[in-house]
Amino acid sequence: MPLLPRRIMALLSRWSSRVSSVDVDGEALYFKIHGNQRIAAGKGMQRLFGNVEKDGKCYSLLVSSEDSLRSARFHWGLKDKLLRDLPPQCRLLPMSSFLPNVKDSLLRGYFLQVASPESSLTTERLLRQWLQDDDPLLVCSYSQVNKLDTPRWIQHLWNEEQNYEIALTEAPQYHPATLNLINNDVFYSFQEARDVIQKCADIIPEAASVLELLPCSGDMETRSKPDFPVIVLEGLDATGKTTLAESLRDVLGATLLRSPPQCLTPWRACFDQEPPMLRRAFYALGNYITAQQICSQTSKTPVIIDRFWHSTAAYAIATAVSGPLCDLPAEGSELYCWPTDLLQPTLVVLLTLDPEERKRRLRDRGQGETKEEQELDHNQLFRLRVEKAYKRISGPACISVDASSSAQQVLQQVLHLIKAKCQL
């Protein structure tokens, strides 16, 4: 067997301690190598392996590289490769592996349910070919055996040719994604986000153009309180942010800015097609460009901003932490804290709206939706996670305003808030 990479060797040294999670129809099923505290298999094992015929197999592919950017890009492209090349009888499910309660131990990948022996042969041949290409993959196959007339599932770890019995286990104290959010899904400093874009400049030509727009690191130090208030409007699409922002601009004689800033528009489509790590770094840097624009205006007028860091963080957290609301980071978590080097607004208004009314407004617009907005429309749980994350972010926290009233009534409510909170 060829010499294993150092990263793989480190993983294998703690393999028995790792827990795997597979997303089956929106529910996370957790399993690990069989230990003394075994949880009964029950329906969970049937859901994980039940569609596989006798002599069929399941497979797991985990992406592992010492280079986090390489891992992110490889994982992002792996799904298309699997869907394109594997037999149609192969079902693809999101998967991860992690050390419980250990930061930055998360590996992402896919779990393959292969329904028949014939499809298993084809799948295994393809996977072995890919492993020869020096891809950063950790591959396991799973097969059923009978022990004392009781079905058991065996994990065969290809990288070291070892077999382990596995069993379902309890959900961890923290959702595994929460231990991997910092500077992967949510960026808390200008330099961390810039470093990600800098690393990909050789492979993504557009990254160089983005870097040219960025302020110098020294310009991102925390600034003193601005002369005029900075008011951020947050909320899902079609809650009335644009209408309210323009009305406030006219009434207050304010400067209106939007995040991400218009200067990034030529490259948004490109980064929207990249892995979450790159996409989030791109939008995080948009906030810092907006902050620089704010600083150039607050000595002259109040500033109204259509979305800012709250949106960037709330969508990232709600996307990365799939599952029920209880899986989100708890209120007060460091994950909801404002970046120390990003200008803090004076007031953040979160416009809320009944989901059906919001959908009606979107239809009336006749505009195309972003991928995340489409997800909001058909996935109620995702929408609830976004809304909950919005409300937990501090520095400052959002103040919710019901946007179901007329535009004029909403304007008056917000003007009252501004008068009370901003001394205007």
Euclidean distance between the first and final Cα of the chain, in Å? 72
Pairing between strand 303-306 and 230-234? parallel
Segment holding 71, helix H or strand E: helix 68-85
Full 3-state SS string of 145-212: EEECCEEEEEEEECCCCEEEEEEECCCCCCCHHHHHCECCCECCCHHHHHHHHHHCCCCCHHHHHHHH
Listed residue (14, 21, 184) closest to 96, CA to CA: 21
Question: Which residues share a beta bridge with 225?
Answer: none
CA–CA separation, 223 and 345 (whole Å) = 11
Per the CB < 8 A criterion, the answer to whether 82 and 114 are in contact is: no
Q: What is the pLDDT of residue 1?
A: 44
Please state, for a pLDDT cut of 70, what percent of the chain lies above it.
87
Domains and CATH numbers, the chain: 6-179 (no CATH), 181-422 (3.40.50.300)
pTM beyond 0.85, yes or no: yes
State both tokens at 362.
Answer: 């979107």
> What's the confidence (pLDDT) of residue 224?
56
pLDDT of amino acid 324:
86
| Amino acid in position 6 | R
Lowest mean pLDDT among 29-43, 222-236, 258-272: 29-43
Pairing of strands 162-168, 27-33: antiparallel
Residue 43 has pLDDT above 80, yes or no: no
- pLDDT of res. 39: 47
Nearest to 122 by CA among 162, 156, 82: 82
**For residues 117 and 314, which has the higher predicted lDDT (pLDDT)?**
314
What's the gap between Cα 126 and its chain centre? 29
Q: What would the pLDDT profile of 253-287 be if each residue is shown by its tens digit?
A: 999 999 999 999 999 999 999 999 999 999 999 99
Exposure on the CB side of residue 293, measured as CA atoms within 13 A = 21
Which residues fall within 8 angstroms of residue 180, CB to CB, at 6 or more apart?
98, 103, 104, 105, 106, 320
- Dist CA 239 CA 112 (whole Å): 40
